[in-house]
Structure formats: structure tokens, C-alpha cells
Amino acid sequence: MYENVIQPGDNPDLTKERKSASFNLWKMQCFVHEGEDVVRRRKEILDFVQKTREFDDPIPAEFLSREEIVDRGARKAKAMTDNADAIDGSDFFGEGLYFQSLVIGRELHSMSLHYGMFLPTIQGQTDDDQMDEWMGPTVGRAILGTFAQTEMGHGSNLTKLETTATYDPKTEEFVLHTPTLTATKWWPGGLGKSANVAVVMAQLYTNGVNKARGPHPFFVPLRDPETHMPMKGVTLGDIGPKFGINSNDNGFLIFDHYRIPRRNMFMRFSKVLPDGTYVAPPHAKLGFGTMVFVRSIMIKDQATQLGAAAVIGIRYSAVRRQGEINEGAGEVQVIDYRTQQFRLLPQLARAFAFLFAAYEIKTLYMLVTEQIGDGNMDVLPELHAVSSGLKSVVSWETAQGIEQLRLACGGHGYSRASAFPDIYTYAVGGCTYEGENIVMLLQVARQVTVRN
């Protein structure tokens, strides 16, 4: 019952608390991680990471400059992909995310969006010929991609994105253009220094019609593959330090009448024929599948961050002694104070609830993906609504929960050594990216109202 959680040299207060558990700790681990085999695999992956010297940090990340942090992320991302055989690459939700968290922690890296958004777009939005052309270089890292959707002037209101893609039937090319300052692509991860290709969401114009057909995704080369310098007609760069996750080189992107071939429009669902004829998708939301995928991942990631913060807060409260209840009996563990329990335990409960919700949304996502492949779009609106609502509620409650847990650790929670500052600045970004929370909740409310 205790073998894998109680080790020689453990703090005696922690050992005492673990031995007083009213449930079987091994069975709880298996329940949380969905099976004994998964728990054993996690141990194998942990052992592999700990013994692989390529993953070591000569200097702790907390003492590095921004440039050094970005370099560290790139080095570790390469080491991860070079050692990818250590995990089941098809299990992105499970082994993939766990492997990354062990190697890089909460700092993202230059390939985060390559694997998290660019690759899923290649998998989900290409036709057969595009898949054959782009998948190999993507998986083999011959190209490094990002996802350029958010603009300086528009984030959640995607229908009003300003970047344009105008089809020229004479040359069978799309002309990408940034018509205003607010149309500048802003925030794409990996764009600042690393990515040489992007999935760009742009308003589609065809057949001389002055009305846009809505945002569509395009496969857009950005940097020369030999020199890594921006292509003619492309201006890009790094947006600078942020509130957190500074290992990720978020960037900006401006187009000046930049031309790409017609076949660089993702054409699994929507199409533009050589003469400019537009073929609409069977469902308007199909073009946003990558965002739904990321929100599905986010829910588990947020649950994991809240769980990590809860573990730190609870363990600290078990070993921290403060105040005498009975004179001469010695100071008591902080966790024995009921007020401390009221701060800690609800956050632990939420972490479990959010994790189980993440498993359900993953199952729903896989179901919808399979159904879309068969031409069935019936559950797609439900997936969009559920993932949007859960993303909003979970990220908000996680951010508030982490702060409560930090406060419960007193002054020590303010030190980066506690990990709370890094957990918080990483997790709180989830309240904004992939859809600002209030806007997401309003979309859910609108769908519920329509259905009723």
C-alpha cells in the first residue's frame, strides 16, 4: 500500500500523514491515472528522464536571462524529440504531456505550438495530397511551425480578423496582406525567433467579391529555409518579455502583399478552385478544430497545475509547525488547523474534479474526430460548447486556487523556490489564451439559449 510513496529519508511528518490515509494509495494512483499500466509507465518515463544527462540543467532556470531561457527551451525541445522513442508518441494527452513536463517543467519551448497546434492542423485540415507533402517535413522537423491567428486588434472575435487572403486566378495564388496596424498577428508562440512556417488564419476573398468568406487557414512559409531570414513581403519578430512563460518566443507578423500558391490553403473542408470558385465547408466550425483540440489539452493541463500547487501546499502544511494548542505539548502541524484545511482541501478536490472532466472531454474529442472523418458533424457544436465552458471555468478556478494555496504557505509561498510563482504565471495565462474566459462563457450561454 505504501511502497511506492514512502521512501527512506522522508520527513517523518509526511510519512505519518501518508500512513494515516483511509484509502489505498496505490489504488488511488491507478484510479487517477486510469490504470496500473499507466502508473508503471509513468515511473519508467520518470526513471528515463532522471538518468538521461541531455535533460540536465547546468544552471537552474530561475537564474537564467531571457535569452538563456529561450536557448534552454530549444536545447531541451531537441533533446526531447531526439529521445521520443522513450514514449508512445500516439499518446499525446498522456505520455507526451507527462514527458514534456518532466523535461521542461512549466516553461514552454520553441516547438510547443509546432506539436500543439501546427501538427494537429496538418493532421486535421489537409486533403490527401497536402498531407503527403507537409506531414513528413513536419514530423521530421525539416520545418518548424506555429499557429498565427490572434491579431493586435482581435482575439476572441475571430470573425473580425483583418489579415486578408485575396485569390488571384491569373497566377493561381493567394495574396496575404496586413492592411492595418491592428491586423498585425500578435502572440503566436515560437514565431519570434524559431518558426519558419505558420498556419495563418486570414479573411478569404475570391472572384473579386468585396465581401470576405470568413477566416480560413493557410500554410505560409515565413523564413528562408537556408538563411532563416524573413521572406520578402514578411516582417516578423519577438514581442519581448511577458508575465510568464518567457522561454516561448512569442512574436508578431506583418504581410505586405505576400503571395503563396493556391494549394497552400488548407483544403480538407473548404476549397478554392483554380478559377476562383469557392467550395464551402459542410459545417462552419470545422475550420476551428485545432482550437478545440488545444482547449481539450488545456483542461488537463490546468488540473495538473492546480494539483501540483495543492500537493505543495498540503505537504508544506504537514511539515510546518506553528503555535502551541496545549502548553508544553510542542508546536502543532499547520495542517491540523481547521482554517488551513478549509483553504487547502477544496483546491485538492477541484483538481480531481477537473482532471476527470479532462478525461471526459478527451473522450468526446476523439469521438467527434472519428465522426467528422465519416462526415458526421452532429456532436461538433456540443464539443465546442463543452470545451469552451470547461476551459473558462477550470482556468479561472485554477488561477484562484493556486493563489489561495500560495497564501496558505505564508512568506515561503512568495519565493520562487516554492514553485508557486511559476505555477501561477503559467496557469493564469489560460484565462486568456485560446479564448478570453468571459467571451467563451457568453458563447456557451448563447448556445444553451438557442437550444432551449
Phi, psi of 67 (to 5 degrees): -60, -40
Burial of 93 (0-12, 13-18, 19+ CB in 10 A): middle
Cell of 368: 467527434
Cell of 311: 500537493
Paired residues of 219 in beta bridges: 199
**Catalytic positions:** 434
Total residue count of the chain as it appears in this document: 452
Of 132, 133, 205, 142, the C-alpha closest to 174 is: 205
| C-alpha dihedral (65, 70, 75, 76), degrees to nearest 10 | 100
Instruction: Count the Cβ atoms, other than its own, within 10 Å of residue 451.
Output: 9
**How far are the Cα atoms of 107, 201, 257, 347, 395 from residue 157, in angstroms, in the given order?**
28, 13, 24, 32, 20
Of 334, 343, 342, 447, the C-alpha closest to 400 is: 343
**Spatial distance between the Cα atoms of 399 and 179, rounded to a whole number of angstroms:** 37
Kindly state the DSSP code that residue 231 receives in the 8-state scheme: P
> Which helix (H) or strand (E) is 308 found in, with range?
helix 289-319
**Spatial distance between the Cα atoms of 356 and 125, rounded to a whole number of angstroms:** 29
- Treating both helix axes as pointing N-terminal to C-terminal, what angle do 36-51 and 97-104 enclose, rounded to 10 degrees? 30
**Spatial distance between the Cα atoms of 370 and 364, rounded to a whole number of angstroms:** 10
